[in-house]
Amino acid sequence: MVRRNALSLLRDRRRREADRRFGARLLASVAVAAVASVPFGLLLILVVGRWRPLGRLDMDAARRLHEVAVNDPAWTSALHVLSDRVWDPVTLRAAVAVLTVWLLYRRAWRLAAWAAVTAVAGGLIGLLVKTVVERARPALEDPVAHAPGYSFPSGHAMTATTSFAVFLLVLLPMVPRAARIPFWCVSVLSVVGVGFTRVALGVHWVSDVVGGWLLGLAVVALTAWAFEAWRADVGRGRAPVSEGLEPELTGGRPEPDPPGR
């Protein structure tokens, strides 16, 4: 009995230590996410330095897509619906919030924390970079849309990247294998579609959208790394991306920590 109690106390202590390290890693991931992605850093340098080839690319794409939008009101209306309703950041963040509450109901505490931190960190880091860079939005004749604030990176593109990554990495274990490829396709097409609508409506440059995608991926990669490190701390194997972050969620609740950990 004494030995059993000692083992139980040791297991509880190790679990608490793993939880503390998990929280520390989440916070550390948030702190370094904005500068962890080399591709984003290079793009940021080009944007801030006003690299002419990139400027020409942005302007050419903006003018061509704007011409289509001005001459085709039906097309423009469809873009507005997709950008401002279906893929709106408020809608996507609300969906992540609902998913987080559902995870709490399932007692998947750490997965809920990961989803919430990933979504909130993405929004705050994107806002911080916008404030620092202070890039102006496209100024086109006869605009078909308006948006407040600065331009780089695209908040829509970044929110879509972090949100659909959360959906994928949380829900994949519960998606039948036959439906996983369509699930991935819908997610990727949604992220790409968000970026396209923002450029086509003339409220972002192409480089704004690419910057949002890259920075969003950096946030997801780092917080997912923190979650996987916690799994290693408590003795669970690292899950492949195709199985989501917590494959044990399929059985109803996450698998309890293994004995002796």
The closest alpha carbon to 107, from 228, 248, 253, 256, belongs to 253
The two structure tokens encoding residue 219: 């946030």
The two structure tokens encoding residue 191: 């992220």
Q: To which H or E segment does residue 248 belong?
A: none
User: 239 with 102: CB under 8 angstroms?
Assistant: no
The answer to whether the peptide bond before residue 89 is cis (omega within 30 degrees of 0) is no
On the CB side of 61, how many CA atoms lie within 13 Å of its CA? 22
On the CB side of 86, how many CA atoms lie within 13 Å of its CA? 14
Task: Give catalytic residues, as residue numbers.
Answer: 156, 204
d(CA 251, CA 82): 35
d(CA 160, CA 94): 12
